[in-house]
Amino acid sequence: MTTRLEHNAADTRFEIYVDDTLAGYADYAEREDTKVRDFHHTMTFPEFRGQGIAAKVVEYALQDSRDAGFSVVPTCWYVEKYIADHREYADLVA
């Protein structure tokens, strides 16, 4: 099983693929003027649940946001919980 993470900027979401099949994503709205990404939905498709897919894509999205100089708004409950459980990302919250 191979996993691939991608930033799909055209669809404003971070995606995770398992063996070239889309397994889940975290989508956001971006405010370029204030450098903020509002993460409002995280999705893992049913056949991929229980494998840590959501955690992998959210970690990737948060790290990409940090690297690109964005703050984040964790509107999505899962992103909010992930940040609460991984305090190294707490400084990103706008």
Give domain limits for the chain. Answer: 3-92
CATH number 1.10.10.10 is the correct assignment for the domain at 3-92: no
The whole-model pTM stands at: 0.95
Provide the angle, in degrees to the nearest 10, between the axes of the packed helices 53-67 and 77-85. 80
Which position has the token pair 């990404």?
Answer: 37
* Residue 3 confidence (pLDDT): 96
- If one counts every other C-beta atom within 10 angstroms of the C-beta of residue 87, the result is 8
pLDDT in tens, 30-81: 998 999 999 999 999 999 999 999 999 999 999 999 999 999 999 999 999 9
Confidence tier at 6 by pLDDT (50, 70, 90): very high
Instruction: Specify the amino acid at residue 15.
Output: E
Structure confidence at residue 4 as a pLDDT band (50, 70, 90):
very high
